[in-house]
Structure 1
Amino acid sequence: MTCRHSDHGENRAGTDGVIERAPVVDRRELFGLGGALLAGGALGSLFPREAHALTEAPVPAVENARAGGTLDAVVHPEPPTLAFFMNTATPTRAVVSKIFDGLVDYGPDLKPRPQLAESWETSADGLTWTLKLRKGAFWHDGTPFTSADVQFSAEVVWRRYAPTAKRIFQYLTKVEVPDAHTAVLTLSKPTPVIINALDVVAAPVLPRHLYEGTDIPNNPYNNKPVGTGPFVFKEWARGSHIRLERFDRYWQSGRPFLDGILWKIIPDVSGRANALETGLVQYGERNPVTFADADRLAKSDKLVVNKDGYNGFAGWLWLIPNLRHPILGQLKVRQAILHAINRDLLVKTVWGGYATPATGPVSSLLKTFYTPDTPQYPYDRKKAEALLDEAGFPKQADGWRFKLNHDFIPFGDDYRRTGEFVRQALRAVGIDVTLRGLDLAAWTKNVFAEYNFDLVSSWGINWQDPQIGVEQHYWSKAEAKGTPWFNASGYARPEADKLLEAAQTETDPARRVAIYHDFQKLAQADLGLLNILEFRWFGVWDARLRNVTNTFNHSQSNFAHVWFEQSA
């Protein structure tokens, strides 16, 4: 079945400039957060052996939908940039996904839903993907969306700039456009994960007429974006807000319901809790408040605190050891660090039960690919001390074995407290740890551009498939100095590369799962990353807001179907 939408409208122009209210540091945009990248769809859709077509997924129920109203939402921290095709920071993604549509979207069941692509077909050998594109879709400046935009984006943006697409589409050889609404992708090797990587961030589609022939990383439209999505960018007042307005000629008739979205930048976590409680904002995603506040706000009849809508956002937190470091490069030291940390207590005391200890690099939420059969390092202080002794680092006269700096990701109090917990645990076994709280720009530059760190705490996302969200941290060929979230540890193991590369082109579902099981065992034995815990994300929103959770990821829902119920 091919899905089609017959109701369209023309586009209304409208892109205002960025209002600067605070000094802008260029390095924030150059080395901004690169976000965690894509966790587990249905195997049948991942491994096409014959032609398939997208079927229309059920749209959110809107029988009693009420149009109107501006949604005041909180975004934290402030996006480092809106150039989402280079920097996939979660705050960037949350904002830009309302401005741009992807070729497809994904539902809570992780199955694809049409956006700019109405249907797709895959050849039996998996080497040709034919996308039938939506007619009647427009860019926000009034220019029609066509296959030329997809061709330009695939040939230029995906290959050169988009972090996920550069890996997923590495075997893309050509893009043909037989007509204005058909794009044919030809591959040299089958890449079954593609169906899980056609969303707005993994495979971004930019307006060819505004980017072709320009200095793309410095294009002025990067921070005043022109998209095809349900909301038009109007203003970015740095340090204050980002304002979006309804695109009243969106391709889907009657959508969006909201008049606009005002993203408010509230750095202080207590300020965010107060804003939600008082109604200053009506929506916050990805743990916008502390766990104690979440429990308290959940008791209000005016607010909803809910973990739904994060099925594809399977996140985990890890420590990145700099394997170039003469001490952290030793496996026994890394094993000792994990044995020294009581992760059950960390989950209980710092994460309020909104997490669970990780068993490896693949989240247990990603049921298709997950295996618990991996090496484990349970809390055992005596074992940790024995391993450090064996590694040649006995306690000195002052009680310390060696010194380390620990730089926690500056995303809020939970991450600082996690850093403090780790510091105390390591000091208890004789490792003198200095906890450093850097600003986001300095932290990202140190970690991903200069590799100037000892031990870092950070987090990432599995997404629908390990190839999208896990591979980049362990594949030696993914290391890209200066690109956030790509193998900063320096892990390089030929056996791991062999497994990851085999999974990239394996079209047998069971064999591909088995490959990833073998990879998890190897990764957890090598400890290129020290996997600490899995997240259980929650959002907080006004109880009158409807259709919030009909998504695989709050941070990428376009909110075309979200609406406010009339107050009683």
Structure 2
Amino acid sequence: MVFKQRKVLWAAAAAAAVALTLTACGASSTDTTEGESVIISPVVVNPPSLNPLANETAAYMLRGQFYDTLVRLNATDLSVEPGLAKSWEASDDGLTYTFRLQEGVSWHDGEPFTSEDVKYNLTEAMQYYSPLATTYALISDVQTPDENTAVVSLSSPAGYFLSGLANLYISPAHIYAGTDIMANPAWNTPVGTGPFKFESFEEGQQITGVKNEDYWDGEVQADRIVNPVIPDRNARNVALTNGDVNLEFRDAVDPSQLPTFEANDAFQVAPMVGAPEELITILNQREGRPLADFKVREAIMQAIDRDPIIERAYFGAAEAAPSAIPRKIAWATNEDVDLSTQYPLDIEAAGKLLDEAGYPAGADGTRFSLKLVVEPSQQPASTTAELLASDLDKIGIDLQVQLTDFQAVISDVWTAPYDFDIYLVQTSTEADPSVLLSTLYTCNPNDIPYSNATGICDEDIDALFTQAAALSDQDERGELFREADAAIVDTLYSSLPIVVTASPVVAAANVTGLEDFYSSTNWNWAALGTK
């Protein structure tokens, strides 16, 4: 892979002003010792905890530094590769998986990692990580015939089981078993098997780790890793320019500055590979809501102009999403459907649909209002929200954009009374539609948080996802997913993507190991160093 080089030019006045923010964020405490290799990678929000089971942005970004998974996914083809499990065998009926674990692995506190840890995570801890709710529901039993073997029994075959496990970061049973796991204060001083050992967590300032000298998966290249909390994007840009940080990726990257970084050989930009990421709209279609009417959803789709979103929110690092299942999951996506073709940009047609739906324009041109919720930490998403507001204004919809933090999102989107119309969020779709996408499109009669929050149930689409989840043969599963993909586009059901993103990583030129860092969708933090 050849990395492009990018350049940044900042006005001195702007840099000085934003530097005040850096000081407030504690960036000055990231000074390094001469000869020490340190990776300094900012997070955009202060993490409520370092719990890898928390469905929260900062914890998601940091978990691979301290913890490991049983299996990993190859970033190029999304195939399953060894992690803490060095090998595995599946029974012919797909109901039993026997995992052979890496030997000689220790937790950071010196206790041995064993099959009992695997059992605890698969039978207890996993239930708290909502994106894996369907995977957890499959597990009927875990046996540990010896300390390096775990035998997992499933209630039904599931072709996505291993892909699901690639998202479960293993925590130590000797610390969490028998406790209220989500409330355990030990999460803020994490003990894992990962490449870095936890050193400190300064609330609102930074999280620091030191090299795990005994890491089971080879030499860790950096001596230390520092994650300063820098919510302000301008402050992050200045920090990278000035050398106060040396690695930014995902939400930390400011897309508007990519062209300037490209022109400076003091920086390198690597394209992000791995599981697809999309900007999606979760549509509240409960009875009485405007979006419950298909014609309203159709009108909105015909009013959205994706080109300005791609250029002004993502600065070219995205493309229009054709359907619910990304094209990268080639075996499952339906290439015969395309949202942009089926619902082409047409303001006049969109207005007529709203008339037909019984929403005439008032004297001021407004038909009705919708509430859109978005997290400001996801900068391209919040920029997109403003562009969507402009698009919908053209057809008489007053889109009221509410910028809110993750805790407020839980209240507005994921729990009753569901006070939103549209939730705009950038998320990974994972490597298999049964792992995450299924939670968006299958029925959710019990209103389980972080699942289908739209309040509707399409039994046919639900059945297609359910049947695909119960099969092991990828070709058979692909047929079902392609049918579901078409049905979602035809009915504009539940959640719809706007763009597929290509978030890059931006690093100082002296940072090494970027290719290996992205070799796994779990991010290989051990590979990063400096020269």
SS across alignment from 2:301:
helix
* 1:342-357 superposed matches below 5 A: 342-357=305-320
Q: Paired residue for 1:377? A: 343
Runs of 4+ in 1 over 4 A off after TM superposition: 551-555
Aligned-pair distance for 1:285? 0.9
Match of 1:259 in 2: 223
- Equivalents in 2 of 1:349, 1:250: separation in Å? 43
- CA distance in 1 between partners of 2:521 and 2:248 (Å): 10
Residue 478 of structure 1, CA deviation: 8.4
CA distance in 2, matches of 1:162, 1:279: 36
- Please name the residue that 1:71 is paired with: 39
Per-residue deviation, residues 322-355 of structure 1 (Å, max 9, x unmatched): 1124311111101111111111232123321111
Equivalent position of 2:433 in the other structure? 466
Structure 1 pair 413–477 and aligned structure 2 pair: CA distance change class (3 A): closer
* 1:28-54 deviation line (CA, Å, top 9, x unaligned): xxxxxxxxxxxxxxxxxxxxxxxxxxx
Residue 132 of structure 1 deviates from its aligned partner by 0.4
Deviation at 1:168, TM superposition (A): 1.5
- Say if 2:49 is the partner of 1:81: yes
1:237 Cα deviation (Å)? Answer: 1.1
Give the aligned residue type for 2:487: L
Contact 1:337 1:426 in 2 (8 A): yes
Q: Shift of the alpha carbon at 1:551? A: 4.8
Q: Residues 126-147 of structure 1: CA distance to partner in whole angstroms, max 9, x if unpaired?
A: 1110000111111111111100
In the TM superposition, what is the alpha-carbon distance from 1:480 to its structure 2 partner? Answer: 4.3
Alignment match, 1:319: 281
Aligned-residue offset at 1:151: 0.8
Q: 2:147 aligns with which of 173, 180, 191?
A: 180
Q: Give 1:291's aligned residue.
A: 255
What TM-score comes out, normalization by structure 1 length?
0.83
Q: Distance in 2 between matches of 1:101 and 1:393?
A: 53
Which segment drifts farther, 470-479 or 539-548? 470-479
Aligned partner of 2:180 in structure 1 is 215
CA offset at residue 378 of structure 1?
1.3
Letter in 2 for 1:176: Q
Q: CA deviation at 1:479?
A: 6.4
Shift of 1:558: 3.8
Residue identity opposite 2:522 in structure 1 = Q
**Cα shift readout 1:122-169 (whole Å, capped 9, x = no counterpart):** 1111111000011111111111110011111111112x2122332124
Q: 1:542 — aligned with what? A: 508
| Residue number in structure 2 paired with 1:132 | 100
- Across the aligned residues of Structure 1 and Structure 2, the Cα RMSD in angstroms comes to 2.0
CA distance in 1, matches of 2:406, 2:176: 28
CA 1:551–1:90 in structure 2 vs 1: closer, same or farther (change >3 Å)? farther
Q: Report the secondary structure of 1:222's partner residue.
A: helix
Separation in structure 2 between the aligned mates of residue 499 and residue 452 of structure 1, nearest angstrom: 29
Equivalences for 1:505-544 in 2 at 5 Å?
A: 505-527=470-492, 528-544=494-510
Distance 1:478 1:554, change over 3 A: farther
Identical pairs, percent: 30
The equivalent residue for 1:119 is 87
Query: Amino acid of the residue matched to residue 92 of structure 1?
Result: A
**3-state secondary structure, aligned to 2:410:** helix
Give the counterpart letter for 2:295 in structure 1. K
Residue of structure 1 equivalent to 2:116: 148
Using the alignment, how far apart are the partners of 1:493 and 1:551 within structure 2? 40
Corresponding residue to 1:197 among 164, 170, 179:
164
Q: Distance in 2 between matches of 1:555 and 1:449?
A: 30
Per-residue deviation, 1:92: 1.3
Structure 2, unmatched stretches of 5+, are 1-23, 26-34
Change (3 A) 1:353 1:435: same
TM-score by length of 2: 0.88
Distance in structure 1 (CA, Å) of the matches to 2:519 and 2:302: 33
Structure 1: gaps (5+ residues)? 1-20, 23-66
Q: 2:214 aligned to 244, 249, 269, which one?
A: 249
Following TM superposition, by how much is the alpha carbon of 1:492 offset from its aligned partner in structure 2, in angstroms?
1.0
Contact 2:514 2:528 in 1 (8 A): yes
The structure 1 residue matched to 2:452, chosen from 472, 487, 490, is 487
Q: Is the alpha carbon distance of 1:207 and 1:76 closer, same or farther for their aligned partners in structure 2, counting shifts above 3 Å?
A: same
More helix by share: 2
Give the CA deviation at 1:508: 2.4
Q: Partner amino acid for 1:454?
A: D
